[in-house]
Amino acid sequence: MKKVRTDDGRLAPLGHAGAARVRRRWPKVLFGIVIPVLLLTVAFFVVDAGVRSYAEGRVRDEIQQNLPAGVTGAVTVHIGGASVIAQYLAGSFERVEVDAPALTINGIPVAASVVAAGVPADLTKPVASASGTLRVDQAALNQLVRVPGATGGVTLGQGTLTYDGTTTLAGFRIGYQVAATPKANGATVLLQPKDAKVTAGGGGIDLTAPLVAALGQTPVAVCVAQYLPVGFAVTAVDVTPTAATITVDAQNLVLSRATLGTRGSCS
């Protein structure tokens, strides 16, 4: 017959009463293990959430304090990935999202967002990579950018920008309107003429065909780097009738006043 140890330490036959006592002990043992584990798990996530909030605030403040001259606006930061404590101990954060939906550049409204990967816990070290978007409406775009050769601002269309200009063709000084397709080109955005029409001059001669041929030979380069922190390159441009969205990328960027406060150039 199986025996069980009694409360005073003796071995006694395992009868119905002994079996019942054993069964009653199992829930106590189980709760004695599970409850502490659950409490430790909850405590870890509470602490981790606090560390995440602190880290987000630190990155936000660092960016906010080092915005380029003339750039203002509230910035929010979200740190993605699993445990922030584990990421911090590993030395870098997997993903950091920075959002500034109401940024202004010299008073001009711009919506901006950046997603960075491999952000070091030591902010004096470079971020592995960053991808950002700048979104501006037509009015803001015309305050920020001037198209070389254009006599006025641009009008946004579906995938195109339309603007007016003047040139000399076949001995005539003419005015024209051109619809161009924007294309990302690192420090610049290239405007490739897609269609054009003569709006003034020409002495009654139809110069549309030679105008389209002449304009289509060389795209117009618009410098964008001068509005961006040094190190960022334009990788995509999307245009709709309501807004233009520019995507920019950077590698090995340090989130410091020196880098964020230094504009790029097209030279």
Together in a domain, 188 and 167: yes
Residue 167 placed within a domain = yes
Together in a domain, 130 and 186: no
Residue 126: give the domain boundaries. Answer: 50-139+227-260
Structure tokens at 219: 């795209």
Residue 34 placed within a domain = no
Specify which of 34-48, 49-63, 84-98 reaches the highest per-range mean pLDDT. Answer: 84-98
Bigger pLDDT: 59 vs 146:
146
Looking at the DSSP bridge assignments, the partners of residue 2 are none
Together in a domain, 104 and 217: no
Residue 38 placed within a domain = no
Nearest to 56 by CA among 75, 74, 73, 78: 78
Residue 249 placed within a domain = yes
Together in a domain, 152 and 80: no
Cα–Cα distance for residue pair 116/121, rounded to 1 Å? 13
Do residues 67 and 260 lie in contact, with contact meaning Cβ atoms separated by under 8 Å?
A: yes
Contact partners, residue 165, CB within 8 Å, separation at least 6: 149, 150, 151, 175, 176, 177, 178
pTM summary value: 0.74
Gap between the terminal Cα atoms of the chain: 94
pLDDT of residue 190: 94
The number of domains in the chain is 2
Together in a domain, 120 and 231: yes
Nearest to 161 by CA among 249, 237, 105: 237
pLDDT of residue 9: 54
Together in a domain, 60 and 167: no
Together in a domain, 104 and 235: yes
Together in a domain, 102 and 231: yes
Rounded average pLDDT over 229-257: 90
Assign 55 to helix, strand or coil.
Answer: helix
Together in a domain, 248 and 129: yes
Together in a domain, 121 and 82: yes
Q: How far is CA 144 from CA 53, 71, 78, 108, 224, in A?
A: 35, 13, 29, 8, 10
Rounded average pLDDT over 182-205: 87
Residue 26 placed within a domain = no
Cα–chain-centroid distance for residue 105? 17
Together in a domain, 92 and 192: no
Together in a domain, 103 and 125: yes
pLDDT of residue 67: 77
Cα–Cα distance for residue pair 255/128, rounded to 1 Å? 11
Residue 12 placed within a domain = no
Cα–Cα distance for residue pair 129/25, rounded to 1 Å? 56
Q: How confident is the model at residue 43 (pLDDT cuts 50, 70, 90)?
A: low
Is the predicted pLDDT of residue 17 greater than 80, yes or no? no
